[in-house]
Amino acid sequence: MNKHLEISPEVKSALENGKPVVALESTIISHGMPYPQNVETALLVEDTIRQEGAVPATIAVIGGRLKAGLTKEEIEYLGKKGTAVTKASRRDLPVLVAQKRDGATTVATTMIIAHLAGIRIFATGGVGGVHRGAETTMDISADLEELSRTPVMVVCAGAKSILDLGLTLEYLETKGVPVIGYQTSELPAFYTRVSGYKVDYRIDTPEDLAAAFNAQQEMGLKSGMLVTNPIPEEWSMDPAYINSAIDQAVEEARQKGIHGKETTPFLLAKVKNLTGGDSLKANIQLVLNNARLAARTARYLISL
């Protein structure tokens, strides 16, 4: 085992005994929501995974240790520190570990640590992607590169609709990452169930998701797999309404010169304010929906 990795007793026991485990990120705790809603949501997502018969493994860097499985106290700690915790992607890990600092893991870093721990499925809200205007800024999330190199299934509600969804799909195609629609042939756009873009394949059951990922691993293909799971119908937002808020937020970010890893937290916070908090409610529900699907898929994957 990697000497910098620390697996919680609950997660370690599950892995050793062939029980299903689902990884969870921690950026959603420190940078995605305000306190105490961030902590309440994180614990609710963990409970949802347990109710589905799997073991949750929330992932973070605490005191320079790569942690797979956090205690309630550690989740509370990250929630209270909020944005004071470094938003950690692949490039941040060496310094955070060497200097014994804290880091809230993005999709990319959660995939890395999950893979080190032997966890094959990860549930999140939405993945990063190619930002609008990337043809001049080259602002492309490290999440996409990680999907091309780390064999973990990522269950999400599609790419965040603050992104250029068409270019995001093109990038994933170039990198050989399968984009699967769960019970849909269209890429969901985080807050909404539709985007106008097609996914590579539609798969309708957790059993078939597990079989596809298992085949990918058996063939030795090194990329991850992106499973896009639409937000539940009752929480899906009106596309015109949410896209208007997103366009306004993107323009404000441009005017303020916000870029890099600060872009997504700024845009999500701005959209939340513009929608009177409705986007945050939708965000919570789609994360819970993804956690359920990931746990059900993990149960089938361990039997293969």
Known catalytic residues are 25, 160
C-alpha to C-alpha distance for 179 and 191, rounded to whole angstroms? 18
Note the Cα 92 to chain centre separation in Å.
18
Under 8 Å between Cβ of 230 and 199: no
Residue spans of beta strands (DSSP E) within the chain = 5-7, 21-24, 55-62, 65-68, 86-88, 103-105, 121-123, 153-156, 179-182, 201-203, 225-228
Quote the tokens at residue 244: 């208007």
Query: What residue spans of 127-262 are helical by DSSP H?
Result: 134-137, 142-149, 165-174, 206-218, 239-256
CA distances, 264 to each of 45, 96, 135, 148 (Å): 21, 21, 18, 21
The distance in angstroms from the start CA to the end CA of the chain is: 24
Helix, strand, coil shares of the chain, percent, nearest 5, are: 50, 15, 30
Q: Is 189 exposed, middle or buried (0-12, 13-18, 19+ CB in 10 A)?
A: buried
Return the closest-CA partner of residue 114 out of 23, 7, 11: 23
